[in-house]
Structure 1
């Protein structure tokens, strides 16, 4: 059942608990939206330049993974990690060629594994950590709260794309 209240989740500092509540709500809605999809639905392309729902789900997992590395380990992803996640991060042609023929359980597992680490790691941080300022190479300042907000907005944005693809699938069938 989806929780439609934002509150601080027990086991986390107050603001991080609220962030966890938002992350979990966002994911619950995404999972509800994809719960009935077949492997063919997950691979469906609306045109030759589009992304599949499966690729978008892997993208959601990849963005969260990259933000784990950036915020929890304070580094960029390495070449080994890039091998696993590059197609999902970039989407487009490479994703169309490599992210396919997987059943829903594959994507659910990838999303769950990444989220499990996020939730586990966030338990060890305080609210002050969310507001720690960093600076990108281009001089733009940001904080960890913004980076985790981006994880939320990215999933919500791609869930909108997934809904559009599902509507086109219904028209196609």
Structure 2
């Protein structure tokens, strides 16, 4: 069920909980959007340069995963993590080559597994953590709130691409 009220779920600090509410709303809409897609739909390439719906779903999971590592562990991906997620992060030729021939359940489980960890970790965070600042290697400042806002905006943006791809597939 999609919840249309932003509120802090029990067990989370107020602002962290509001963020959780937004993350969960965005995910519920994404899951509704992809419900019933077949493997052929998930692997469909509109053009030879486009990304498939499956690749976009893995990208959504990968962005959340890398933001977990950055914000919860204060590090970047390890070599092993990069090996699992690099195609999903970069998409393009790598994603078209590596992300295909999986049923919807595969993508649903990847999204769910990453989200379970996000929710578990966010339960341990307070509002001060959201506003804690760090600096990228290029000197640009960011805070944890921004990182998780980016997870939201990335999912919403790619869901728009998924809707467009579905619309174009229906035309054919």
TM range (shorter): over 0.9
Name 1:129's counterpart in structure 2.
129
Offset at residue 70 of structure 1 (A): 0.2
Name 1:41's counterpart in structure 2.
41
1:122-162 CA distance string (max 9 Å, x none): 00110110000111111111100000000000000000000
Unaligned 5+ segments in structure 1 are none
State the SS of the aligned residue for 2:66: helix
After TM superposition, the score normalised by the length of structure 2 is: 0.99
Residues matched between the structures, number: 172
* Dislocated runs of 4+, deviation >2 Å: none
State the SS of the aligned residue for 1:139: coil
Name 1:19's counterpart in structure 2.
19
**More deviation in 52-61 or 128-137?**
128-137
- The correspondence of residues 95-114 of structure 1 with structure 2, limited to 5 A, is 95-114=95-114
Unaligned 5+ segments in structure 2 are none
Offset at residue 85 of structure 1 (A): 0.3
Offset at residue 90 of structure 1 (A): 0.1
Pairing 1:94–2:103 present: no
Offset at residue 23 of structure 1 (A): 0.2
Pairing 1:57–2:57 present: yes
- Provide the C-alpha distance between the structure 1 equivalents of 2:157 and 2:170, rounded to a whole number of angstroms: 21
After superposition, the CA RMSD in angstroms is 0.5
